[in-house]
Amino acid sequence: NPHLIEEGLEHIGSEVCLESGRADLIFKDKNKKLLLVELKTYAESVTELQINRYAADYVLSEKIQPENLRRMIIAFDLSEKLKTACLISGIECKQIRFADLKTLEPIEEHVVITQEVYKTVAVNVVQIITIRAFHKTRQTAHGLKCSHR
């Protein structure tokens, strides 16, 4: 459900392997710019460094211009320090509320995702916003094998 992030997004990849780790999601926006998304349950200021490393790796590996790559951090909770750091460095931040997720359809008819499950899945919990549409999608950049995370 990429519409929870932004209207008009086209999914490019999930868990994309890069030299410094795995980028959670990559989209193309309605203006044809790429959007690199890092998902967190709680995002702290170190997340800014992480998404910048991923962005640099992606720009170099895909040979794109840096101005054609947007960066976004999505979390249930964002620290004030991170919000300020992102504002200074041009990284977009989005806070997802549990109420936003209640509108999602189940992944499978026999799977019921409760609030308790959302709370206990830790870092991967935010990925539920995209798992219905992309749970079978995997893409790697240049065939790199990732052992990160």
68-79 pLDDT tens trace: 999 999 988 888
What pLDDT, on the 0 to 100 scale, is given for residue 12? Answer: 93
Query: What's the rounded Cα separation, in Å, for the pair 22 and 2?
Result: 19
Write the CB contacts of 37 (distance below 8 Å, at least 6 apart in sequence).
5, 23, 24, 25, 26, 27, 72, 73, 74
87-97 pLDDT tens trace: 999 999 988 87
Q: Evaluate the CA torsion angle 46, 48, 49, 54 in order and state its sign.
A: positive
Query: What's the rounded Cα separation, in Å, for the pair 140 and 135?
Result: 15
What pLDDT, on the 0 to 100 scale, is given for residue 103? Answer: 54
pTM value is 0.70
